[in-house]
Each structure stands twice: as C-alpha cells, then as structure tokens.
Structure 1
Amino acid sequence: MISIVYSPEVHAAREQGLPLVALESTIITHGMPWPRNVETARRVEAEVRAQGATPATIAVLQGRLHVGLADDDLTRLGRSSDVAKLSRADLAACLARGGTGATTVAATMIAARLAGIAVFATGGIGGVHRGAESTMDISADLSELAQTAVTVVAAGAKAILDLPRTLEVLETLGVPVIAYGQDDLPAFWSRSSGLRAPLRMDDPAQIARAHRMRAALGLPGGQLVANPIPETDEIPAATLAPHVARALREAETQGIAAKAVTPFLLQRIFELTEGRSLQANIALVLNNARLAARIAVELGTLPA
C-alpha cells in the first residue's frame, strides 16, 4: 500500500464523510507565473469551500504523495523552478526516488482514485496535439479518462490542440464527454469550439447520478464535464486563432517537443494576447472549481 499524506483539512473531511474535490498542482508549477500561480491556487481552494466541499490539491513532495497541501507547501511549489511534471509514466518513479513533482491531469486522477476522491477540477485537459499524425503526440490524459473512475471538470481541451481529433479519440475510448449548459463543446479560453458535444447536462445532480450509474454498470473510466468559460471572460476562437498558429510555428522552428510543448505555447499565447489569456485561464479554473464542488456535494447525497 502506498502511504498518502493527508492535510489536516482533508483528513477531517474524510473522517466526517464530507465531499472532496481534487485539484492538480501543475497549474501552480507550470501553468502560471509567480505570484499569480499561488494566488490562483488559494482562490480555487476558496471557491471549492464556498460551495460546501473540501479542496484537495495533490502533489509529490520529497517522495511522498500529498493529498491536500498546507499553505507553506503551495508557496514552496509556486516559487520553485525545478519541480518535475508528473503524468502516469513518471509518478511511480518520482515517488521511488524521493523526488518532488507536480501532478498533471492523469497523475491527479490516479492520486484522487487512491484517496477515494471522485471529482476533480482542472483548467483544461490535454489531448491530441496538432500534427500528431506525424509526431504521435497524444496526452496521457485521454487514456486516463478511459480507465480511472473520476469525474473531471474542465473547460474542454486546451485550444492549442487538435480538438476534432481529441474528441474523436475520447469517443473511441468510450469516455462520456458532457457539455455543461450548452450543446457545443467549449474550447478552453472560448465558449465554443464549433464542435457539437456528444452529451449535454444542465444539472450537477444529473452529472453525479451519471457517475454513480457508470459504477453500477461496472464501466471503467471516468467522465469529462466540459464547462464553458463565463461569457464575460472568454476570448473568441476567431481572435485566438492567429495567436495559436503563430505560437505553433515558433514551437516547431525552435524544436520544442514532448512535455515542453504545452508550457511553451501557453506562455507565448500569454505574451501575444498581452496577458488576456492568463485572465481567462484564471476565470475558467475558478468556474470549474465551483461546478466540481457542486457535483461533489450532490454525489455525497447518493448511495455509493
């Protein structure tokens, strides 16, 4: 059995059977600059609490899996520049070596399942990268959704990705893709990708029931809830398209590959939008935390 270090807040919630929401840590270490990263992490946790659930930010610290982070741990992660970025392939090695790492969507889902947490809020999932027909660059997030029973609330897949192919892979893997409150699949900073979502649900209670029904049917994997960014905070897809195209060209020219691609693209789009993408990113993460907490609360009212 793996030893999990629970924060006092998370430990108390588990003891009392209160709803929990898992949160990733790469948003702190690889997604935003200091000090906005830690400020945002604290705001996200506060949003979860405001909706009646307990936040559980997940990371590996000195070879131990932490579910729930103290404020000092958040600050140390936010200030560090040499924290590993952990996905399914790296998580066990980091723990075995006694290392420190921030969890991606896939690794956070694995840790959440181990901790008995059914709902996870993030910004956007990874997916099929543009040009994947040549590079085979496909995020482990997609296969994780197909095998790990956690409901993931995100603003869709990141807009830098090949969204039609990402949706196709999710459908092939049997992952329910549920647009919340609209028919279109959102595209991270934009409310619409131009793609119709396979499923639509408008009620957190219905999403919670679908989670329980999958377990009752013995179906593996989780479900993706695609929650559109609030209208007042979105950047229209047409506005973003030339910036994304330019960032992608620059990444190719500079030979940026593998795990370095997404942080590079996000940073360049931040620069090209003069910081507007970061403001949108913060807004959508907070929005996802609110919805995830409401789903977690509803799950708590249903029989396991």
Structure 2
Amino acid sequence: MITTPPLSLSAEVSDALHGGHPVVALESTLLSHGLPPGRNLEVAHRLERAVRDAGAVPATIAVLDGRPVIGLSPAELERVCAPGAGLDKLSLRDLGPAVGLGRSGATTVASTSALAAAAGIGVFGTGGLGGVHLGAETSWDVSADLGVLGKVATVVVCSGVKSVLDIAATLEVLETNSVPVLGFRTDDFPAFYLRSSGFPVPWRVDTAAQAAGVVRAHRRFADSGVLLANPVPVESEMDKEVHDRLLADGLELLRANDVHGSDVTPVLLEHFHTASGGLSLDANEELVAANVRLAAEVAVELAR
C-alpha cells in the first residue's frame, strides 16, 4: 500500500500547539519567489523575530522532499532561501503531486492556509492575498486563495490585494464564500503598496482583541476563514503617482509578452522591484513585517 508522509511539525511548534500557546503560520513563496537571494533570508529571520517578540511561535511552512514541514529549522530555512534552490511554487492543488512525487516546493497563501489549518494553526501572516484578475470573465483567472479562504478556518492577515487585480470582483468573491473582511484601523480596503484601493471594508476593528473577538464569534457560525486587512505602514506607502506609472508600464509589459495566469504576479513584482530602484521591495518587506506582528498579536488574544 502506498502511504504519504504526515505533517512534520518542529518540536517547538508541536509543543506550543499542545500547550495551547499562540502560533503564527508564515508562507515560503515570499522567500523563494518574491525576494532576491540574501535579502530573503534576512526577511525570513526578521519575520520570525517579529512573531516571537509579540509573544507567539513562528511556523514557516514548506514542502521538502515530499514532506510538508510546519516550522522550518534554521537549516531548512536556509535551503528555502538559497540561490538556485529550484523550489516549485505550490498552491493547494499542487500539494498532492508534490508530496506524492517527493518534490520540494514553497507554499502560497492557499497551500499555507490549508497546511496551517491541518496542523491546528489558526492564524497566518502574509503580504498580499491573491484575487480575481482583470478580464476574468473570459479567462476565468481567479486565485485559489479565495476558494481556500471560503473553506478553511484560518485568519489571514495581509495588506489587501495588488492593484493589478479586479478588487471589486475579489471582494464580491470573498462575500460569496462567506469570508468576513475586516479593516484594521481603516475603513478602506488596502491595495498592497497603497493604503487604500478606493473600496470600503465591510467591517472595521481597531485592536487585536477586537479582531480575535470577531474570529471567535465567526467560528461559531461558519467554517470559512477571516481576512484581516492591514494597510502598509504610512511611512512605507509608495507614492501614488510613482505606483500608477509603474503599474501602467507593468500592464503594458504583460500585454507585450503575453503573460497570463500564475506568471502575472511574479513578472509584475519583478518589474516593480527593478523599475522602482528597490522602493517596492522596501515597502513589501515593511508591510509583511507589520502583518506578521499583527497576526501574532491576534494569535495571542485567541490563545487567552
């Protein structure tokens, strides 16, 4: 009989979960596909420190040699961040093939949420959520992140979605999937590098305790996740004129090179990073750090 390996939890994460202590899931695609070598490892350490400083245990997640690992060791973290690591990018649909074939890969929002929930981790801090792509009415290009949030009871703390997406449609899909969208100290849904997308959030919370209270109440009525939208810090927000110019140039780049599907985000991010002289990388790092801190604060409240 063919068997698949169980989840591999680090001793620290396992002990924390058994003891009822707060744990925060962290993704690995940001590290292996979203940041340049060297900086990715620095950011990985910074994010784990931010979670610890807020009183929770970090659990960075990846699949290594067909084994889903919940809480990477220092050596495993270096492996994920190493130049030329060659890790696959694994959404939820890819977990089965990767595990069954003994492959290694970095987890996206969708797969990280699912693995975190399977391990008993209820809070996940990340950068941005995937969403409905422009033109989805003909391409059907909708991120798996939205569907997973509709059926996995994970709190995802992020800075909204990137402005290249159809934000109105993304919010509609979240509503259809019964995912509460909370704005943290804001009435506006953020657009990753920008603090406001121009669309309102349905609900606002101003403290981690309020967010945790909403999560507890929601779990009494539904099995779906909760989206906590935390705008990029004021001092790290990109200038809107610069952002809009980079976005227009990036969309033209996508059209000129016929880029579609899962390739859109990495190509667009690389364009932003290169054309902005690193400004977008700085904003990306700061918003992720702020999100994982908030995620840890919410996890601490939920563990009380």
TM-score, with normalisation over the residues of structure 2? 0.95
Where do 1:46-61 residues align within 5 Å? Answer: 46-61=49-64
Q: Name stretches of at least 5 consecutive residues in structure 2 with no aligned partner.
A: none
Q: Does 2:299 correspond to 1:296? A: yes
Report the counterpart of residue 86 of structure 1 in structure 2: 90
1:165 to 165, 169, 179: 169
Of 13, 22, 25 in structure 1, the residue corresponding to residue 28 of structure 2 is 25
Q: Which residue of 2 aligns with 1:225?
A: 228
CA distance in 2, matches of 1:2, 1:204: 36
CA shift for structure 1 position 238: 3.6
4+ aligned runs moved over 6 Å, structure 1: none
> Aligned residue for 1:121?
125
Instruction: Give, in angstroms, the shift of residue 81 of structure 1.
Output: 4.2
Find 2:261's aligned residue among 258, 262, 266: 258
- Percent of aligned pairs with the same amino acid: 45
Q: Deviations over 1:235-254 (max 9, x none)?
A: 14343112112112111211
Contact 2:177 2:224 in 1 (8 A): no
Number of aligned residues: 300
Distance in 2 of aligned mates of 1:70 and 1:27: 17
**Is 2:202 the partner of 1:198?**
yes
Q: What is aligned with 1:269?
A: 272
Q: Secondary structure at the match of 1:99?
A: coil
Structure 1 contact 192–237 (Cα < 8 Å) conserved: no
One-letter amino acid of the counterpart of residue 281, structure 1: N
CA deviation after TM superposition for structure 1 residue 15, in Å: 3.2
Deviations 1:246-286 (A, max 9, x none): 11211121122222211111000111111100000000000
Tell me how far apart the structure 2 counterparts of residues 147 and 237 of structure 1 sit (CA, whole Å). 35
- TM-score calculated relative to the size of structure 1: 0.95
Could you say if the C-alpha distance between residues 296 and 277 of structure 1 is closer, same or farther in structure 2, counting changes exceeding 3 Å? same
- Within 5 Å, give how 1:226-245 maps onto structure 2: 226-245=229-248
One-letter amino acid of the structure 1 residue matched with residue 119 of structure 2: A
Q: Which amino acid aligns with 1:275?
A: G
Contact residue 29 and residue 37 of structure 1 kept, 8 A: yes
What SS class does the counterpart of residue 44 from structure 2 fall into? helix
Report the aligned-residue RMSD.
1.3
The SS at the match of 2:61 is strand
Paired AA for residue 251 in structure 1 = L
**Residue aligned with 1:241, SS:** helix
Note if 1:149 corresponds to 2:149.
Answer: no
**Matched residues in 2 for 1:22 and 1:12: separation?**
15
Deviation for aligned residue 1:161:
1.5
Say if 2:5 and 2:66, in contact at 8 Å, map to a contact too: no
- State the 1:9 CA deviation: 2.0
